[in-house]
Chain A
Amino acid sequence: MRLITHNMLSCNIKGVTNGFPLKIEAEKVIEKEVDFNPDFLKHMFAKIEWKALVEAARAMGYGELPEDSPDVAVIESADETFLKKLHHALLEIHLEEGALVCPETGRKFPVNKGIPNMLLHEDEV
């Protein structure tokens, strides 16, 4: 599971109002190189919850992202230093084994072989 996916996942147990972002418990993190594509990053940037991404990256051992969300000028600038960091955080770090924890209920969703299992129990639907 990449952090771009993590940024789109929320816990939707019945009654939960604050199921985002899921806290990451990392057991095994792997990195896979992906072609750098500034257009895709610019496209996705508006949709990313910045704080959630920074925390998730940190939980995966990557602390290079700035604490505060950079403004659009940084995204559009010719200097691609920031975009490269964003690229690495969003697309190249994978949670292979571990768990995602609901911020409201503490319910754990396991991640095995890179696949988060977000299925709910009958009494949670």
Chain B
Amino acid sequence: MKSRTADIHLVSSHREVYEPCDDSFALVDALLADQTNLINHNPKLCMEIGSGSGYVITSLILLLKESLPNVHYLATDTNPIAARVTNETLQAHGVSAEVVCTDIASCLEERLSGLVDVMVMNPPYVPTPEYEVGVEGIASAWAGGENGRSVIDRVLPVVDRLLSERGWFYLVTLTSNYPSEICLVMRERGYASRIVVQRSTEEENLIVLKFWRDEDEESVVKETASVSFLTQFSRSLSSFVEKQWR
């Protein structure tokens, strides 16, 4: 089994497009760590939201290509330049995905629902003032609003809608995004989760989460009932952990 990921020298770039950085590498490392599971999962359709430079989607394709040559790939980005750069990176590696320029997956939500087996996202997660979210150009790659959650919180219901019955979702978060709270939100929608990669760099504490459907109704009800308490608890826990790290 080859474990080849995208070659950084072949990744296309543009000043208005986020270049592969620690967070991108953490996400690709998570996919690499889960490579065997992904191959056994045998996805038909994989998708990246916010593909930027194209480093992650290209790596995903390269990781699965040899064992699963017939997977269909989709990538979206809200920045038209990033969509173009994604395509250039794919072409430079001799692989292909369908690239669509859209906000999250808005033009695909209706018809693609329930069809995506694997979704990946390195979202704009940096806590910023709300007005910086969704502006044109490179800022759309990192500006995440309050707690860095503005875009993430919009993405979660879309993910739930697009994922197939056996769908998996990989998401990059920071500890300051309250990842345990994100897990609770997804728990309410019937998803289990785990940490695939956890990494502290000089600037940030990165956590790559994996979600999958786990329709154990009893636990959903139970979790939902105690959600407000847990939300409070996880927030204080997150800020405690954050302080410890600093």
Residues of A bordering B, CB below 8 Å: 1-2, 4-5, 7-12, 20, 32, 35, 37, 39-40, 43-44, 47, 49, 113-120
Determine whether the beta carbon of B70 is less than 8 Å from that of A20. no
Q: Quick check: is B9 within 8 A (CB to CB) of the other chain?
A: no
Determine whether the beta carbon of B111 is less than 8 Å from that of A10. yes
Most B CB contacts (10 A, CB to CB) among A32, A39, A114, A119 go to: A119
Determine whether the beta carbon of A35 is less than 8 Å from that of B109. no
Determine whether the beta carbon of B108 is less than 8 Å from that of A9. yes
B-side contacts of A11, CB under 8 Å: 107
Determine whether the beta carbon of B111 is less than 8 Å from that of A20. yes
Determine whether the beta carbon of B100 is less than 8 Å from that of A5. yes
Interface of B is mostly: loop
In the complex, the chain A residue whose C-beta lies closest to that of B69 is A35
In the complex, the chain B residue whose C-beta lies closest to that of A11 is B107
Contacting residues of chain B (26-85) with chain A, CB-CB under 8 angstroms: 44, 69-70, 72, 74, 78, 80, 83-84
B50 to chain A, nearest CB (A): 14
Given contact pairs A1-B98, A12-B106, A115-B87, a sample of 14 additional A-B residue pairs in the complex whose CB atoms are under 8 Å apart: A2-B98, A8-B108, A9-B100, A10-B110, A12-B110, A35-B69, A35-B70, A40-B70, A43-B44, A113-B84, A117-B83, A118-B101, A118-B107, A119-B80
5 contacts between A and B (CB under 8 A): A5-B98, A9-B107, A43-B44, A115-B100, A119-B80
Expressed in whole angstroms, the Cα–Cα distance for A35 and B80 within the complex equals: 29
Determine whether the beta carbon of A8 is less than 8 Å from that of B72. no
With A11-B107, A120-B103 known as contacts, the answer to whether A5 contacts B115 (CB < 8 A) is no
With A9-B111, A12-B110 known as contacts, the answer to whether A114 contacts B69 (CB < 8 A) is no
Determine whether the beta carbon of A7 is less than 8 Å from that of B111. yes
Residues of B bordering A, CB below 8 Å: 44, 69-70, 72, 74, 78, 80, 83-84, 87, 96, 98-103, 106-112, 115
Determine whether the beta carbon of A117 is less than 8 Å from that of B87. no
B86 to chain A, nearest CB (A): 9
Among B44, B83, B110, contact of A40 (Cβ-Cβ < 8 Å): B44
In the complex, the chain B residue whose C-beta lies closest to that of A40 is B70
Determine whether the beta carbon of A20 is less than 8 Å from that of B110. yes
With A20-B110, A113-B87 known as contacts, the answer to whether A37 contacts B70 (CB < 8 A) is yes
In the complex, the chain B residue whose C-beta lies closest to that of A5 is B98
Expressed in whole angstroms, the Cα–Cα distance for A30 and B114 within the complex equals: 30
B-side contacts of A35, CB under 8 Å: 69-70
Determine whether the beta carbon of A118 is less than 8 Å from that of B102. yes
B10 to chain A, nearest CB (A): 18
A120 to chain B, nearest CB (A): 7
Most B CB contacts (10 A, CB to CB) among A1, A5, A43 go to: A5
In the complex, the chain A residue whose C-beta lies closest to that of B44 is A43
Determine whether the beta carbon of A116 is less than 8 Å from that of B78. no
B-side contacts of A120, CB under 8 Å: 103, 106
Determine whether the beta carbon of B110 is less than 8 Å from that of A116. no
With A5-B100, A40-B44 known as contacts, the answer to whether A117 contacts B111 (CB < 8 A) is no
